[in-house]
């Protein structure tokens, strides 16, 4: 009997969490401040939900900017979970041939996530980090960094299937546990 008083509020809160609207594509995220949008192959329509920006914004600014935007777009009072990956994982998470010096993911479990990948061939004081480092020259401007976003949305129907599956599993586990404890 008391299980209902815990289960139903949990199920309703979990359902609300899963159906609250959020971003649906990478186009819902604004451009990085003081940046130029990349038109390189792979940064436009070739790979879905990927966009790149050339700028002078380094890791701390770029990652905190997109973390805040992601939280605002999801309308949740909790901040997203931050995961830090080795730069080599950008080949898998962003796209093949992605160069990287950092890769971070911000996610809301069972909802959606956004990867923020950065390539910084120069340190913030202008020193080369690698042999052969060059600035990104776009038109008549030169930039020190490139930030690439990849957004992974989840459709609402998939979230609802997950909700039904979790709720059903909890009920079945509860009933099984009661049967085991009662010795049936």
CA of residue 183 relative to chain centroid, distance = 47
Q: What b-and-e string marks burial along 136-169, b requiring 16 or more CB atoms within 10 Å of the CB?
A: bebeeeebbbbbbbbbebeeeeebeeebeeebee
Q: What is the pLDDT of residue 104?
A: 98
Q: What is the pLDDT of residue 13?
A: 94
Q: What is the pLDDT of residue 143?
A: 93
Q: What b-and-e string marks burial along 71-108, b requiring 16 or more CB atoms within 10 Å of the CB?
A: bebbeeeeebeeeebeeebbeebbbeebebbbbbbbbb
Q: What are phi and psi of 103, to 5 degrees?
A: -145, 120
Q: What is the pLDDT of residue 56?
A: 93
Kindly report the pTM of this predicted structure. 0.89
Cβ(87)–Cβ(116) under 8 Å? no
Q: What is the pLDDT of residue 1?
A: 54
The single-letter DSSP state of residue 15 is H
Q: What is the pLDDT of residue 155?
A: 94
Q: What is the pLDDT of residue 44?
A: 79
Q: What is the pLDDT of residue 178?
A: 86
Q: What is the pLDDT of residue 94?
A: 94
Domain boundaries, the chain: 1-23+158-184, 26-152
Q: What is the pLDDT of residue 159?
A: 95
Q: Which residues pair with 138 in a beta bridge?
A: 141
User: For residue 100, what are its two tokens?
Assistant: 């990287």
The single-letter DSSP state of residue 73 is H
Q: Which residues pair with 118 in a beta bridge?
A: 102, 147
Q: pLDDT by residue for the chain (184 residues), tens digit each? A: 577 788 899 999 999 999 999 999 999 999 999 999 998 888 878 889 999 999 999 999 999 999 999 999 998 889 999 999 999 999 999 998 889 999 999 999 999 999 999 999 998 888 888 887 888 988 889 999 999 999 999 999 999 999 999 999 999 999 898 888 887 6
Q: Which residues pair with 108 in a beta bridge?
A: 112
What span, in angstroms and rounded, lies between the C-alpha atoms of 62 and 30?
A: 12
CA distances for 36 relative to 112, 122, 138, angstroms: 26, 18, 8
């Amino acid at each position: 009997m008391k299980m209902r008083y815990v289960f139903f509020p949990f199920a309703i809160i979990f359902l609300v969490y899963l159906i609250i609207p959020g971003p649906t594509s990478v186009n819902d995220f604004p451009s990085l401040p003081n940046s130029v949008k990349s038109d390189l192959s792979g940064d436009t329509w070739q790979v879905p939900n990927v966009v790149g920006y050339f700028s002078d914004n380094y890791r701390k600014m770029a990652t905190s900017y997109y973390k805040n935007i992601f939280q605002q777009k999801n309308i949740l009072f909790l901040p997203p979970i931050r995961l830090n990956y080795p730069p080599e994982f950008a080949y898998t998470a962003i796209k093949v041939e992605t160069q990287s010096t950092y890769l971070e993911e911000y996610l809301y479990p069972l909802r959606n996530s956004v990867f923020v990948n950065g390539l910084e061939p120069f340190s913030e004081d202008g020193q080369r980090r690698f042999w052969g480092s060059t600035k990104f020259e776009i038109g008549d401007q030169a930039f020190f960094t490139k930030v690439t976003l990849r957004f992974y949305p989840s459709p609402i129907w998939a979230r609802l299937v997950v909700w039904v599956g979790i709720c059903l599993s909890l009920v079945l586990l509860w009933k099984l546990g009661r049967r085991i404890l009662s010795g049936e």
